[in-house]
Amino acid sequence: MAVPKRRVSKTQGLKRRTHYKLTLPRPVKDEDGTWRMPHHMNMTTGEYIKQEKKDK
Task: Give residue 50's identity as a one-letter amino acid code.
Answer: K
- How does pLDDT run across 1-56, given as a tens digit for each residue? 889 899 989 999 888 887 878 888 899 998 888 899 988 888 888 888 765 556 66
Pairing relationship of beta strands 28-29 and 35-36 according to DSSP bridges: antiparallel
| pTM, two decimal places | 0.46
